[in-house]
Amino acid sequence: MAQTIAVLDFGSQLTQVIARRIRECQVYSKIYHFSTPAAKLRADGVVGIILSGGPQSVYARTAPHPDPAIFQLGVPVLGICYGVQLMGHFLGGKVALSKAREYGHGHLTIRKPGRLFAGLPKRLRIWNSHGDKLTKLPPGFVATAVSENSPFAGIEDARRRFYGIQFHPEVFHTERGVDMIRNFLVRVCGARQDWTTRDFIAHAVADIRAKVGKGRVLLGLSGGVDSSVAAALLHKAIGRQLTCVFVDNGLLRQGERAYVEALYKRNFKIDLRVVDASALFLKRLRDVTEPEQKRKIIGRTFVEVFEKSLKSIGGAEFLGQGTLYPDVIESVSIQGNPASLIKTHHNVGGLPARMKLRLIEPLRELFKDEVRRVGAALGLPREVVWRQPFPGPGLGVRVMGDITAEKLEILRHADAVLQDEMMKSGHYGKVWQSFAVFLPVKTVGVFGDERTYDYVIALRIVESTDAMTADWARLPHDLLRKISSRITNEVRGVSRVVLDISSKPPATIEWE
């Protein structure tokens, strides 16, 4: 039985990042609603509690407060940011309202390492993001570290094992932040570091079984990393109660459909239905040139085809989705702020409400690299686990202007050559994305002794860490030469290859 660290969520977007850091330390954690009764935490056998950050002031009328009895459980507590104000507020200290938010880099000077800062250098860069400040320590506490703006950047009551830090140890910008979290888990709570990807899988499998019971789950398999790992995990949990649907929308890459069929149907023995709807998609897309309109048509048609296949399998109670934690944040911010909608993504939301299915999202709390590890542990091949992202609307947004079967064929071929060279040279896994774009522009060329008048292919190869910003990859010229000469020689209908050297922003990664 794994020892559980409870993370009480007070509404910070960083709560999941805290959970992730705990997993990195190979300790099991569970995120609880901030108001969870102490008795429930005791019943769950938690060995430590972390109070997350949050956007509110502890004095606000609507401020989230924990059950005060959590401080009587006798288990260690670590308050982070808002969490430390809560400790001040509930344990007899003083918190001052502050008008301005302190945000950004700061410096920490450790005065008394204690258990929390054990083994760390005396001075560290930290990341702040808080409004209120602790101005008087609660009885029993001492200050352990100071920052430019606070004499109480770190506090502790070693006897009761209560610790507080004003900054965010979970973010990358705080130097050695993970070590502070590990110190709390191991040196303070005495947690064992034995939680692995296999344990995550075992837990997720039990969870899925409990949720689904004898029900049926339908999952749209795209062949990308997220839905592939979700499918493999669901399959491990419920076997034939899972049906996957792969929609061939006619906008797939070369060999994609055959590959997905071979892998999941033959190798994994998943109940996979391949629906060839390419004619329908291409018919609806005929003469459509506007990118957002293309996306809407592709999204709507996908839902329609998917609904039909739901009927043909005799219905289901659950819809499986490979939603990851970053998708959750992104779609929340998009919904909350219409101005931030740059391109319509149709992966999250929409489907379940209309189909009256209950959502099952076993990867919802994970980050991409964790999902890759889960996929590898489930036996998915390397080339699937390390696949570059591919947009839902597929080649539909990579053929500029109107889409025809002929243009798609040219693009598929050129793209396959590009991928082949990227793989062979070892660059495929080093960049974020590498793909070809079809330009409906004809230019003059010469092939053998003949004049040609053919299309242009653009190469889009970018580096990025999260797709929010990106830069074009500086690939060796010899590799670019090889790709270009292979495309112009092997792909009929192309007489010219150009390289896209725009960064994001201002350009986006995809051309449409």
Distance between first and last Cα of the chain: 50
Q: Is the preceding omega at residue 506 within 30 degrees of 0, hence cis?
A: yes
Nearer of residues 224 and 445 to ligand XMP, judged by Cβ: 224
- For the CB of residue 226, give the shortest distance to ligand XMP in the complex, in Å: 9
Shortest CA distance to 184 belongs to which of 76, 308, 55, 101?
76
Which residues are CB-neighbours of 456 under 8 A, at least 6 positions away? 439, 441, 442, 443, 494, 495, 496, 497, 498
Q: Which residues of 37-68 are buried (b: 16+ CB within 10 A; e: fewer)?
A: ebeebeeeebbbbbbbbbbbbbeeeebbebbe
CA angle (288 as vertex; 273, 274 as ends), nearest 5? 5
Residue number, 375 or 392, with CB nearest to ligand XMP: 392
Closer Cβ to ligand XMP, 383 or 471, answer by number: 471
DSSP-derived secondary structure for 346-362: -SSSSHHHHHT-EEE-T
Does an H or E element contain 325, and which? helix 325-336
Which residue do the tokens 């250098």 mark?
Answer: 121
CB of 392 to ligand XMP, least distance (A): 4
Catalytic residue among 170, 330, 365, 512: 170
What is the distance between the alpha carbons of residues 156 and 361, in angstroms, rounded to a whole number?
38
Whether 81 sits among the annotated catalytic residues: the reply is yes
| Residue 497: partners with Cβ closer than 8 Å, 6 or more residues away | 414, 456, 457, 458, 459, 483, 484, 487, 488
Which positions touch ligand XMP (CB under 6 A)?
295, 342-343, 345, 347, 389, 391-393, 433, 467, 504, 508-510
Among 89, 168, 235, 413, the active-site one is 168
Q: Are β-strands 162-165 and 150-157 bridged in parallel, bridged antiparallel, or unpaired? A: antiparallel
Does the active-site annotation cover 170? yes
Question: How would you list the strands of the sheet with 142-147, edge to edge?
Answer: 28-33, 4-9, 46-51, 77-80, 162-165, 150-157, 142-147, 102-110, 123-130
Residue type present at position 139: P
Is the Cβ of residue 5 or residue 457 nearer to ligand XMP in the bound state? 457
Minimum CB–partner distance for residue 417 and ligand XMP (Å): 19
Angle at CA 36, nearest 5°, toward 35 and 40?
160
- Which residue number, 409 or 500, has a Cβ lying nearer to ligand XMP? 500
Residue 213 region by backbone torsions, left for phi larger than 0, else alpha for psi between -120 and 50, else beta: left
Nearer to ligand XMP, 264 or 511 (CB): 511
Nearer to ligand XMP, 305 or 509 (CB): 509
Active-site residue flag, 168 = yes
Nearest distance, CB of residue 426 and ligand XMP, angstroms: 21
* Minimum gap (Å) between residue 512 Cβ and ligand XMP: 8
What's the half-sphere exposure (Cβ side, CA atoms, 13 Å) at 439?
18
Pick between residue 179 and residue 463 the one whose CB is nearest to ligand XMP: 463
CA 473 to chain centre: 22
User: Which residues belong to the active site?
Assistant: 81, 168, 170
